[in-house]
Structure 1
Amino acid sequence: MTNSAPLPPPRWRQRLPVLMILCVAAIGAVLLRDYLNFDTLRENRALLLGFRDAHYAVTAAVFVGAYIAIVAFSLPGATAATLTGGFLFGLFPGALFNLVAATTGAVLIFLAVRAGFGRAMAARIDASDGRMKRLTSAIRENEAPVLFSLRLMPVLPFFVMNVIPALIGVRLSVFATTTFFGILPGGFVYTWVGAGLGEVFARDETPNMGIIFEPHILGPLLGLAAISVLPAIIKALRKKDIAP
């Protein structure tokens, strides 16, 4: 009597996490878009600060969990959550809480998409012979610098950057590492803005969310993004030089 290999789970079960994310995202976009914003933080700032002072550890845990849910389910309010992290916990540990939560949420989306679609999609691409295979092969050869650069300068929406790597078979360790360090500069800047919200509230003003595009901040980010992809460019040029 031979032991047969276990059957893979049904396809609908593999895709259930992705479907849940899409459903929650759609519901959240309708029900929460008017609540997860800067105005809500302004109106409830005294209540939040009072609860933080009385229950610091609980506040930190609830905040990180809520931020993870916002990212994992692609809910509106990620920017407001980053500001809240700075407002409640200061630049440190606020920046650390923001980065850990955002990275964890991104990893959860990555795993859900990879389980539901990624492995089959990656296998289909590998079996193909078209432009898509050449593109994904080029990304895989330079996974870390390319993903790190795209995180530094988010030319694609955050949700898209969580999905594409899962579909083309990027390794989890590379995805998580490049996400954390790639969003670190921008997360640091926005947490810094959040840490100064007390003065903004006192003046009854709105925070400058365009600060990241100011030359003294955008310039170093562009330079870091260029440096990050330099190894991939050098590798491509070397291959071209040695090609017959």
Structure 2
Amino acid sequence: MSLKRLFPIILLIIGLIIFFALGGEHYLSLETLAMHYQNLQAFTQQHYFLSVLIFMLIYIIIVAFSIPGATIMTLLGGFLFGVFFGAIWTILAATIGATITYLAVRMAFAESLKHKASGSIAKMRDGFQKNEFNYLLFLRLLPIFPFFIINIAAGVLGVSLRHFFIGTLLGIIPGTFIYAWVGSGLGFALEQGHVLNLKIIFSPQILLPICALALLSLVPIIYKKLKNSRTLQDNPHKE
């Protein structure tokens, strides 16, 4: 395994270390967004396309380097650009960032680790072998595994670039729109002068998207119950 093949992975790891060393996690919080919301909103209104470019670039970096903060950025997208465009810019940026991670992992490890994978990645191997695109779409639609784990697994297991990009792009649409909806509601609350606390949850602009998010989070549980029920029907004597 040459240094040339490992270089993208090394670069991503160094970026992640630098992020935490500089205390970057403190900037990706609801408190920080609430504190600077008016300035961010004013800048967005004055320089819309530049704001979109900066937002997408930061989002791509966060996803590519597997930095915890994508959820906050999706909320920010809803804050600044509204539900529809906030979700659109987020979907594009998240897909590009995920593809960067996937390509880096595939370049470095796909051939050497494909048959040695263990844990979560090993669980995905059979699914990818049966139907690569549909399984990836399924993983993106149902948040069973963390987003960055799927990026890494797809690279290790040699998923095709076309299937990875399109499956990611389509699969993250529902969740992204819901989070952008929540972010838009938080933006409305801040415009009304509310403090980000539990009381604002009961406003319709916040409560409705949170209910939708709760329903989305139940999908993996329902899926597992249906799968277990089907398994018991196929194997009634299995304990």
Q: Normalised by the shorter chain, which TM-score bucket? A: 0.7 to 0.9
Contact 2:175 2:213 (C-alpha < 8 Å) held by counterparts: no
Contact 2:144 2:220 (C-alpha < 8 Å) held by counterparts: no
State the partner residue of 1:36: 28
1:214 and 2:214 aligned: yes
Distance 1:177 1:223, change over 3 A: farther
Radius of gyration: which is bigger? 1
Aligned partner (choices 40, 43, 54) of residue 51 of structure 1: 43
**Matches of 2:138 and 2:130, distance apart in 1:** 15
Decide which moves more: 185-194 or 143-152. 143-152
State the partner residue of 2:80: 88
**Matches of 1:77 and 1:211, distance apart in 2:** 22
Give me the CA root mean square deviation: 3.0
Decide which moves more: 89-98 or 26-35. 26-35
Equivalent residue pairs, number: 212
SS of the residue corresponding to residue 15 of structure 1 reads helix
Contact 1:29 1:76 (C-alpha < 8 Å) held by counterparts: no
Contact 1:152 1:225 (C-alpha < 8 Å) held by counterparts: no
**Matches of 2:187 and 2:2, distance apart in 1:** 50
Contact 2:59 2:90 (C-alpha < 8 Å) held by counterparts: yes
TM-superposed deviation, 1:213? 4.8
TM-score (norm 2): 0.78
Distance 1:134 1:102, change over 3 A: closer
**Matches of 2:124 and 2:90, distance apart in 1:** 32
Distance 1:156 1:137, change over 3 A: closer
TM-superposed deviation, 1:139? 2.1
**Matches of 2:177 and 2:123, distance apart in 1:** 35
State the partner residue of 1:20: 11
**Matches of 2:174 and 2:16, distance apart in 1:** 27
Q: Percent identity?
A: 34
SS of the residue corresponding to residue 20 of structure 1 reads helix
Q: Deviations over 1:8-33 (max 9, x none)?
A: xx711110110111121122134211
Aligned partner (choices 174, 177, 187) of residue 185 of structure 1: 174
Q: Deviations over 1:7-66 (max 9, x none)?
A: xxx711110110111121122134211111111111111111111111111111111111
1:193-232 aligned at under 5 Å gives the runs 193-201=182-190, 202-206=193-197, 211=211, 213-215=213-215, 217-218=216-217, 221=219
Gap runs ≥5 in structure 2: 235-239
Contact 1:90 1:195 (C-alpha < 8 Å) held by counterparts: yes
SS of the residue corresponding to residue 65 of structure 1 reads helix
